[in-house]
């Protein structure tokens, strides 16, 4: 079998897993909008790791770069990122995913409560998705990353600059990176507080209008 066909066959179930997951996540968002008039997700992004990136990751982890090892030892070949307005939304979606019976949550890495040393924050969920193919059911691993907009801003820029830089980052830059993550975190906290205050002002106004309308 030529190399291209081999990779195409290997990656196909991961693509299907992403298609299925995306549909499930869209339904969660649609239902929330319908029930609460609020969407806990800003945007969703999916990506399949490239063959080159799969092999590089195996080598980085000192694992022999074979397709079998990729299948058994890498859990983020299929990746889905959910970017939320607020941290509270992340944990709400996380709980909804934990309750589902059509996927199996294998591992949760909470880099929000316990950020990485460089300041990276996100909630990672490794899940197993059953995919029904003509040949039978295949169980495929996928990684869901949940982040706020501020965390995503930090992580996306950091990924461009440093992630996989391959060398030790100078200490003063590492410190600045951490400070930037802290600033992103402060912004999350501030925006959440403003949101809560606006909600309570709106509630007071609605209550006043209601009482006014109740008057004889």
Q: Please list the active-site residues.
A: 143
CA distance 17 to 142: 7
Residues with Cβ within 8 Å of residue 185, at least 6 apart in sequence: 121, 150
Q: Shortest distance, CB of residue 205 to ligand 0O2, whole angstroms?
A: 42
Determine phi and psi for 126, rounding to 5 degrees: -95, 125
Determine phi and psi for 113, rounding to 5 degrees: -70, -35
C-beta closer to ligand 0O2: residue 100 or 159: 159
C-beta closer to ligand 0O2: residue 32 or 151: 151
Q: Shortest distance, CB of residue 26 to ligand 0O2, whole angstroms?
A: 22
Q: Shortest distance, CB of residue 126 to ligand 0O2, whole angstroms?
A: 8
Question: Angle CA(146)–CA(147)–CA(148) in degrees, nearest 5?
Answer: 140
Give the interface with ligand 0O2 as residue ranges (CB under 6 A). Answer: 49, 57, 76, 109, 116, 118, 120, 124, 155, 158-159, 163
Whether the Cβ atoms of residue 83 and residue 121 lie closer than 8 Å to each other = no
């Amino acid at each position: 079998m030529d190399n291209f066909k081999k990779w195409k066959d290997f990656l196909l179930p991961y693509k299907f897993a992403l298609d299925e997951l995306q549909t499930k996540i869209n339904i969660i968002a649609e239902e929330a909008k319908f029930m609460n008039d609020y969407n806990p997700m800003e945007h969703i992004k999916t990506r399949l790791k490239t063959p080159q990136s799969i092999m590089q990751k195996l080598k980085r982890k000192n694992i022999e770069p074979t397709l079998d090892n990729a299948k058994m030892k890498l859990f983020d070949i299929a990746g889905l990122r959910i970017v939320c307005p607020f941290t509270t939304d992340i944990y709400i979606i996380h709980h909804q995913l934990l309750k589902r019976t059509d996927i199996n949550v294998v591992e949760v890495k909470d880099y929000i409560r316990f950020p990485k040393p460089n300041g990276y924050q996100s909630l990672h969920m490794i899940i197993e998705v059953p995919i029904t193919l003509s040949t039978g059911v295949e169980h495929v691993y996928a990684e869901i990353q949940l982040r706020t907009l501020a965390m995503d801003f930090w992580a996306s820029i950091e990924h461009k600059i440093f992630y996989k830089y391959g060398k030790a980052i100078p200490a003063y830059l590492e410190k600045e990176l951490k400070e930037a993550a802290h600033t992103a975190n402060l912004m999350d906290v501030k925006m959440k507080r403003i949101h809560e205050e606006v909600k309570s002002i709106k509630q007071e106004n609605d209550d006043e209008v209601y009482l006014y309308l109740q008057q004889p």
